[in-house]
Structure 1
């Protein structure tokens, strides 16, 4: 019999058929290069670097899992990630100039850089680090608390059983010790993520809810100063000439909020943007990637991340593994990659993507088998199919419309119909946090290069999986994921993660891995020094980017 199931499946996509875009016009004199930018050209330090970014409710680095441009440019972290010439990555000093790890892997003794000041003139001290970690664990809106959960006493602090963080001990203003409750191999890597940005204790505490929302009280040690935020229009950061790591090479940053891809492309061609992220441009991106004019100005890097479709096991019929497997096998993922991104990426078959420590090239490929999918639905009692309501973030609707159209068409072939609801971003995340979304598609990029950033984030605890609207039910698997964090032997730890990954995706079909993507940017002829972030984020750090005189 025919059944209708109300499923809030948050795919970041649209309903209409794949629409053709008009061919981009030829570039203007401002945007089309006559020759590559030369380092011999004079740097114009009076010019702002202009690009498009995402607006939001708050730029508080502890309370966002995606709006990282302010975090990366206004703030610093104790350590950073550096990409080596061979493509590997390593942890390098930042606000912490050195650290020592005890033989048992439990204690980390850090020494801060000397004479570091916040942009308001306050000195950076060990107390600011303590405050940052304490706030991360106790702020009601913090979404990055996992960064600090390995510290001794974190659970007691979060549950109000303690007033202070037991595992943090200040030696003096520049030295402190962090003690973990058990060994955690990814702890240092965790501290390099934007959510671990170090805050000025006095200013942040006094600001209260204004922090992250009002520029004058959102203070960091980074190369830029949060100057102005005109919601719906732009956000301005000005150069911090006294930054401890050196002054940036441009006057400041102007991040414009422009959702329409064609408008972004036209702005770039008119010379109104210095950097254009091609990821959301759909077919317009082909003009830049495959044309001859902009080849010297293309910058490409792998996105160390994975696009996926999450399936909520707590909602019928997704509580049946046969239904979840049918949804996996009914998608021609290679066709999706070709149609939506012109093949610029790699199919993924698990949770850990290409480029991430722990990636398993030997995972079995998920087959495209629509006939087998129909049989599985019949076995599960859904031979007449069902209807799924697909919710989508409003801000991501345009960029993912083609993918949603194709996914809907493929599922309809096995009897699964889709209804799409476009939801305001805040409402979307609130519903997801409550475990109310049945299924959604999204992309998770590495905050730090360790499998823990993927495995534990999504499948490490019942709380984590519920907050992602996955509602994965195998607690024994989640216990193993959680325990793997403390395995000191690296080979043993990676082997455990890979075994768990196969169970979650291949056996339990807890989500549908799609692909990892290559990330392209195009820059104007007056830009020098731009590099794609190591993990392929849209958010980048711009302190080394200069605007040249033309």
Structure 2
């Protein structure tokens, strides 16, 4: 294995970074990060996807921050208080300036809240996090009062996902203006430098940030979706850190003296989403003769149960993900708020699956195309192929089409698929995030089901979700969330499969504070002591 000092001799590092690395200094340095998934936009309100949110946190901030463990902490707000069940007061941080030197005020927060649900053509809105917002008003420049339409004990958590943009830079700005840097003026620890979609991004340290001085003068990001290429870039010294190292490369990386691995159990589940938007013919589902079926079989619970029982989740976790995932029957890890311990991991049962298909009127099965991203989640394409083989064994002849994440997301938001392999990261650390955003019926006006792209609808479950999320008593709220999880799992609006473990690989002497929400942040990179 090539040693670190050999790599230094063979490869040209940025001189400032090399000096800092060898001297152990934390200043006058450039940090180079290889990202596993593309950042599709700099606009922090356009597409609710973890790569976008993570990069956006370098430039923009929210009222409420989240730590590596998912717990809330002060951000642009130093404190918040529920004055009444439906009324909250947020005290804003004094002395904060936008990157152009103008002062941050409550009016910027109000502008941001108004912009979030109205960004044109967004493929995945953050509006669900503002579903309970009835009114936001500035008591003074540093005091904000929020009236909610119903009690919402999770309001601080909800607001941790909403980036605050300035009114003076953001009013009238398009997503293209953010991507060009024209409107990418935040309050965060780093300032925008450049963005080449699908390729590279760069930020520079904000010397006027209100928080602790950042170690890095400049941070450059390279999008390296190929797992082998990411590992090669790390080992050669082309980058100093990579996200989501390939599960097949982890054993090798663990043996490399100059590389350290940082891991944490994540809150991201990988699942399958059937289409509920059509009663009749499906675009990617036919009979065995290749002709369209007159009725969408995925609307039949027995069919969804059959597809679920055909899946060997343990095999997906152990063989496809090589131990970097856990099998699951829901979408949160054990111990999370709202996790239901009474829901087992379904065991594969192909015989019962075939019987259910026959009872539903499909004794010979049918043909189906499973759509998946091929560059977003660890082993996403390989997992989809494994699922296709499992379904084919019960008579549902399944082919797989993988797409670049941005294309996949755009088409998913338009209900173009019959079955998708999808994922949700519950960065809030509780089960209500998925219930609210992807299980609840889609309602644009009420900002509910914002990421319910398959258009599942269950009014009784909607009421159960809304009741749980408006329960102020924590113990009762957790019970109601767990009950709603059980009701959702019973009806299978989505078919849970695995929970990911998060991992990062860095070159010594760097360290990384591994995060539950899988975000890759320069702010979490430090040095060995």
Q: Give 1:436 shift.
A: 3.1
The residue aligned with 1:5 is: none
Contact 1:330 1:373 in 2 (8 A): yes
Alpha-carbon spacing, 1:504–1:212, altered in 2? closer, same or farther (3 Å): same
The residue aligned with 2:515 is: 533
Structure 1 CA distance for aligned equivalents of residues 314 and 427 of structure 2: 26
Structure 2 CA distance for aligned equivalents of residues 396 and 28 of structure 1: 29
Q: 2:455 aligns with which of 471, 482, 486?
A: 471
Is 1:430 aligned to residue 410 of structure 2?
A: yes
Is 1:492 aligned to residue 476 of structure 2?
A: yes
Is 1:92 aligned to residue 96 of structure 2?
A: no
Is 1:227 aligned to residue 203 of structure 2?
A: no
Contact 1:432 1:468 in 2 (8 A): no
SS at match of 1:435: coil
The residue aligned with 2:128 is: 146
Q: Give 1:292 shift.
A: 5.8
The residue aligned with 2:93 is: 113
Following superposition of structure 1 onto structure 2, how do residues 375-454 of structure 1 map, counting pairs within 5 Å?
375-396=355-376, 399-454=379-434
Q: Give 1:213 shift.
A: 0.8
Contact 1:224 1:239 in 2 (8 A): yes
Which structure carries more relative contact order (alpha carbon 8 Å, separation 6+)?
A: 1
Structure 2 CA distance for aligned equivalents of residues 504 and 230 of structure 1: 40
Q: Give 1:228 shift.
A: 0.8
Contact 1:31 1:268 in 2 (8 A): no
TM-score (norm 2): 0.87
Q: 2:141 aligns with which of 146, 170, 173?
A: 173
Structure 1 CA distance for aligned equivalents of residues 175 and 453 of structure 2: 27
Q: Give 1:305 shift.
A: 2.0
Structure 2 CA distance for aligned equivalents of residues 398 and 517 of structure 1: 8
After superposition, give the CA deviation of every residue in 1:189-230 in whole Å (9 maximum; x if it has no partner). Answer: 11112xx11111101115334332112420111110011112
Structure 2 CA distance for aligned equivalents of residues 310 and 292 of structure 1: 39
The residue aligned with 1:186 is: 154
Q: Give 1:173 shift.
A: 1.0
The residue aligned with 1:354 is: 334
Structure 2 CA distance for aligned equivalents of residues 484 and 292 of structure 1: 48
Following superposition of structure 1 onto structure 2, how do residues 32-43 of structure 1 map, counting pairs within 5 Å?
41-43=23-25
Q: Give 1:425 shift.
A: 3.7
Contact 1:300 1:521 in 2 (8 A): yes
Q: Give 1:383 shift.
A: 1.3
Structure 1 CA distance for aligned equivalents of residues 402 and 439 of structure 2: 27
Q: Give 1:82 shift.
A: 3.1
Contact 2:328 2:344 in 1 (8 A): no
SS at match of 2:332: coil
Contact 2:440 2:458 in 1 (8 A): no
Structure 2 CA distance for aligned equivalents of residues 544 and 394 of structure 1: 27
Contact 2:21 2:509 in 1 (8 A): no
SS at match of 1:432: helix
Q: Extract unaligned runs of 5+ from structure 1.
A: 1-24, 33-37, 153-166
SS at match of 2:133: coil
Q: 1:254 aligns with which of 174, 198, 220?
A: 220
Q: Give 1:114 shift.
A: 1.1
Q: Give 1:272 shift.
A: 0.8
Structure 2 CA distance for aligned equivalents of residues 169 and 207 of structure 1: 23
Contact 1:199 1:220 in 2 (8 A): yes
The residue aligned with 1:71 is: 56
The residue aligned with 1:136 is: 116
After superposition, give the CA deviation of every residue in 1:174-195 in whole Å (9 maximum; x if it has no partner). Answer: 11211111101111111112xx
The residue aligned with 1:344 is: 324
Contact 1:460 1:479 in 2 (8 A): no
Structure 2 CA distance for aligned equivalents of residues 444 and 91 of structure 1: 20
Alpha-carbon spacing, 1:344–1:543, altered in 2? closer, same or farther (3 Å): closer
Is 1:274 aligned to residue 255 of structure 2?
A: no
Alpha-carbon spacing, 1:45–1:303, altered in 2? closer, same or farther (3 Å): same
Structure 1 CA distance for aligned equivalents of residues 144 and 168 of structure 2: 19
Alpha-carbon spacing, 1:493–1:421, altered in 2? closer, same or farther (3 Å): same
Q: Give 1:504 shift.
A: 1.7
The residue aligned with 1:211 is: 177
The residue aligned with 2:272 is: 309
Q: Give 1:353 shift.
A: 3.2
Alpha-carbon spacing, 1:215–1:371, altered in 2? closer, same or farther (3 Å): same
Contact 2:336 2:431 in 1 (8 A): yes
SS at match of 1:210: helix
Is 1:298 aligned to residue 298 of structure 2?
A: no
| Paired positions, count | 492
The residue aligned with 2:248 is: 283
Q: Extract unaligned runs of 5+ from structure 2.
A: 9-19, 279-295
TM-score (norm 1): 0.83
SS at match of 2:233: helix
Structure 2 CA distance for aligned equivalents of residues 40 and 149 of structure 1: 50
The residue aligned with 1:29 is: 5
Structure 1 CA distance for aligned equivalents of residues 121 and 155 of structure 2: 22
